Structure 1
Amino acid sequence: MSEDATDTAFWHPFAAMGAVRRSEFVITRGEDVWVWDEAGQRYLDATASLWCVNVGHGRAEIADAVAAQMRELATYHTFTDVANRPALELTRRLAGLAPVPGAKIFLVNGGGEAIDTAAKIAREYFARTGQPERTVLISRRHAYHGTHGFGTALAGIPANRLAAPFVPDVAQVEWNDPDALDAEIERIGPGRVAAFFAEPVIGAGGVLPPPPGYIERVREICTRHGVLLVIDSVICGFGRLGDWFGVDRFGIVPDLVTFAKGITSGYVQLGGVVAHERVAEPFFADGAAPFRHGATYSGHPTACAAALANLDVMENEGLLKRADGLELPLHEAVQSLADHPLVVEARGGTGVLAAIELDPERLAANPGLPAAVAAGARRRGVLVRPMVSAVAVSPPLTLAEEHLDLMTEAFRGGLDDAAR
């Protein structure tokens, strides 16, 4: 069989491979808020890759920490009683930053694994506390919880559900209505519901900030019904909302928090679950049976070294405070596009992420409109993120306000191209 040198062997995620196979966009290097393609063209990375390069590209501190750890102990499993110093140091540090008392940290490889882990912990927690009938997991419309088994089942983006539910006992409610959650728990029966999953700001589903009081209200509802509240901060954590775990600003105490992406700024794959001491207790008690879940790379020492260096950068440069300062200017920049005939709404104002929603009639006629807008922005040297009905930005926290003009000009140019 002859080999076609122009045909890629790489199967891209979320890609129409028939269109992509001979037209890949190859990124070769990055520095701060910029990346370059192999033709030498520079782009403003207004997406921080996929919501994750929070400290910017090309950080020597993280690269040096990874190299040093690899020379000393690149990898080793952490099953049973085996540990390594980077994993111990990182989990202790995260427990001190977490918005829950007595936090315990289960480390995994990324956000999708974190969701699956949280779902298993929730169900197993109730099995171990004499309520094995509590198995139902509830999510929201527009939610994105990764593409593993539980994440696909919990997906609130219909196109991502594939042959879901994948796992039994899942339900879904409207994304912005706490009363809908209350009613669904009552309909199912409070004694059957294990957990409610919520992103502080829905990310891939369109950048949907919560209505005022929403997060606080669902906390009260979950507490009243004995349901675990799982905050999915895979996108929202580590500065994206101006705090460590993406939920601190709402002043609530979750039961479980999933994280990934910004924990290493995407430099190395790492994710995890923060568990409230009450949830962890049946697993940590003397004589407790093992939690039969984990991955070969759980607590990977090199990934943990990257995370520790990343946290140092964030603390030393005050990037949480910087994120607070970017929140309003980014929102205003995106709002300046609201007058465009293709735009029906500009969203943001809660963290360093924002989006424009495209006209539904134009979308119905051309579902590829978000990709067309993004392609037009790319031609002008800015990378933005197309979604189902919107186009989003989530730049590194090192973005300077002068970069916002470049971003909005390219965004508007992409909209003009798509409108034509």
Structure 2
Amino acid sequence: MAKNKVDIEQLIEMDKKHFLHPTSAISDQQQFGPAFIFKKGKGIYLEDVNGKKLIDGMSSLWNVNVGHGRKKLAKAARKQMEKLAYSSCFATFSHEPAIYLAKKLAELTPHPLTATFFTSGGSEANETAYKLARHYWLLKGKPFKKKIISRKKSYHGVSIGATSATGLKEFRAFTKSLAPDFYFVNQFDTTALERFIEAEGPETIAAFISEPVQGAGGVHVAPENYFKEIREICTKYEILFITDEVITGFGRTGKWFGIEHYGVAPDMMCFAKGITSGYAQLGGVMISEELHHELIELSKGPLLHGYTYSGHPTACAVALKNIEMIEKEGLVKNARIRGEELLEGLNKLKKERKIVKAVRGLGLMAALDFKDEHKQKNVLFSPLVFKEAASRGLICRAVTLDGQDVIVLAPPLIINKKQIRKIVQILNDAIKAVENAHFH
């Protein structure tokens, strides 16, 4: 045991010295070290080096849809690695996994999305969508159509273009050198969008991008007719409509893709995360059949955009197996049913815990919004609940950006009814403990 304890201490020191963590407080990392050092996962659970088991109530980063420790995905990766681990897709080179995956995506996604450009993740996917939109309008002889409109409270990634499109000001404040021609409108105000388009001139606007459900910005679900109005506005003014399904894709909302809840189809769709359940790095952009045909007709040279790992054979093989598992195990339906149970449980919690202002969600994406009274003490409630829940065996997420105070959840799609109840119970106990410790 003593040797194991020394090993853990060494891991902590190595982490503090050598590992610069993404989206983490550098000062906290240096003072306290890593909050957890995980060594294995199984199903909806993660286990750290001390043997502590926690429910992964966030699917890690909204992405481990089929749960941890799925040997079928490891076998799919190994089989493909032994045959062809990697080869380039530049200069029209191709391979079977990318071809089969592109075909499968065309069958799954909202009509009429038919062609896919592969990336390594969500930020690259969004970046690609902006470049493709601007390139398309150049080919159409409309070079001034280059502005990208996004929504407040949106999150689209951390590469420079994706950051510039992100509607959470804290991300944009991280660097004051942002990409030009990105603009924001209120998140659910279609009138504001149309006014903005007319003020700027539709001849200057390339695309409008939106998450079907805003994820990292606090799980905000659009009103019923919002996206129908967005689709109409984009069509009216000749603006490409891009959906960011990086979080909402592959069953997360109780349908294969979040936009399907609203009965419209985008011109482009970005995806990542759930396509491999996090077992390999893969993302991409799908474009409509019409857009694809126009690019073919108008292009006179190479598409000068691509990543080394675009269409990575092993990642594509893992994605194919992951999609097969989601289909065979009925996980899209399970996300819908378990999501309804989660919302029901959280609404009951709201009645018990008066500090909870609102509950919202769609499928296995949910949020608890806290009241503002405690802010008079200059204390945000959600980070305290996050820590308390973790101590009780549940990983959730605190969202404090843009003046919010929210706890969000997105457990793996394999979760069962009993485990949903356990999540709600831990959250209830955690909120009660924080109330008693800090506000009574």
Q: Shared fold by TM > 0.5? A: yes
Match of residue 309, structure 2, among 297, 310, 320: 297
For residues 264 and 288 of structure 2, the distance between their equivalents in structure 1, rounded to whole angstroms, comes to 12
Shift of 1:279: 1.8
Shift of 1:186: 0.9
Deviation readout 1:150-209 (Å, 9 max, x if unpaired): 111111111111235711111100001111111111111111111101110000100000
SS in 1 for 2:90: coil
Deviation readout 1:213-253 (Å, 9 max, x if unpaired): 11111111111111110000000000011222221222111
Shift of 1:336: 2.3
Deviation readout 1:27-72 (Å, 9 max, x if unpaired): 1111111111111111111111111111111111111000111111
Shift of 1:7: 3.0
What's 2:59 paired with?
48
For residues 398 and 14 of structure 1, the distance between their equivalents in structure 2, rounded to whole angstroms, comes to 27
**1:27 matches 2:43:** no
Higher alpha-carbon deviation: 227-236 or 379-388 = 379-388
Task: Provide the identity percentage.
Answer: 37
For residues 27 and 299 of structure 2, the distance between their equivalents in structure 1, rounded to whole angstroms, comes to 55
What's 1:394 paired with?
410
Kept after mapping to 2: 8 A contact 1:337/1:346: no
Higher alpha-carbon deviation: 88-97 or 136-145 = 88-97
What's 1:407 paired with?
423
- Give 2:241's aligned amino acid: L
Distance 1:326 1:405, change over 3 A: closer
Higher alpha-carbon deviation: 210-219 or 157-166 = 157-166
Higher alpha-carbon deviation: 356-365 or 145-154 = 356-365
**1:281 matches 2:290:** no
SS in 2 for 1:411: helix
Tell me the TM-score normalised to structure 2 length. Answer: 0.91
For residues 345 and 17 of structure 2, the distance between their equivalents in structure 1, rounded to whole angstroms, comes to 38
What's 2:257 paired with?
245
Match of residue 323, structure 1, among 335, 338, 350: 335
Distance 1:371 1:398, change over 3 A: same
Shift of 1:414: 2.3
**1:14 matches 2:23:** yes
Distance 1:164 1:153, change over 3 A: farther
Distance 1:398 1:363, change over 3 A: farther
What's 1:88 paired with?
99
Kept after mapping to 2: 8 A contact 1:153/1:164: no
Kept after mapping to 1: 8 A contact 2:13/2:33: no
**1:263 matches 2:275:** yes
Kept after mapping to 2: 8 A contact 1:42/1:381: yes
Query: Which residues in structure 2 correspond to 1:183-194 (within 5 Å)?
Result: 183-194=195-206
Match of residue 191, structure 2, among 171, 176, 179: 179
Kept after mapping to 1: 8 A contact 2:113/2:286: no
Distance 1:100 1:288, change over 3 A: farther
For residues 250 and 15 of structure 2, the distance between their equivalents in structure 1, rounded to whole angstroms, comes to 40
Shift of 1:283: 2.7
What's 2:182 paired with?
170
- Give 1:359's aligned amino acid: K
Kept after mapping to 2: 8 A contact 1:51/1:235: yes
Kept after mapping to 2: 8 A contact 1:178/1:217: yes
Distance 1:277 1:288, change over 3 A: farther
RMSD (Å), alpha carbons: 1.7
Shift of 1:5: 5.2
Kept after mapping to 2: 8 A contact 1:54/1:262: yes
- Give 1:104's aligned amino acid: A
For residues 365 and 149 of structure 1, the distance between their equivalents in structure 2, rounded to whole angstroms, comes to 36
Distance 1:293 1:367, change over 3 A: farther
Query: Which residues in structure 2 correspond to 1:342-381 (within 5 Å)?
Result: 342-348=355-361, 350-363=362-375, 365-366=377-378, 368-381=380-393
Which runs of no fewer than 5 residues in structure 1 stay unpaired? none
Name the structure where helix makes up a greater proportion of residues. Answer: 2
Higher alpha-carbon deviation: 95-104 or 170-179 = 95-104
Report how many aligned residue pairs link the two structures. 417
Shift of 1:9: 1.3
**1:213 matches 2:225:** yes
Deviation readout 1:333-380 (Å, 9 max, x if unpaired): 2222324243221111x2211011122342464455322211100111
For residues 177 and 248 of structure 2, the distance between their equivalents in structure 1, rounded to whole angstroms, comes to 25
SS in 2 for 1:15: coil
SS in 2 for 1:18: helix
Distance 1:220 1:368, change over 3 A: same
Kept after mapping to 2: 8 A contact 1:378/1:410: no
What's 1:230 paired with?
242
For residues 371 and 404 of structure 1, the distance between their equivalents in structure 2, rounded to whole angstroms, comes to 21
Shift of 1:4: 5.7
Shift of 1:144: 0.4
Kept after mapping to 2: 8 A contact 1:205/1:387: yes
Distance 1:97 1:52, change over 3 A: same
**1:157 matches 2:168:** yes
Which runs of no fewer than 5 residues in structure 2 stay unpaired? 1-11
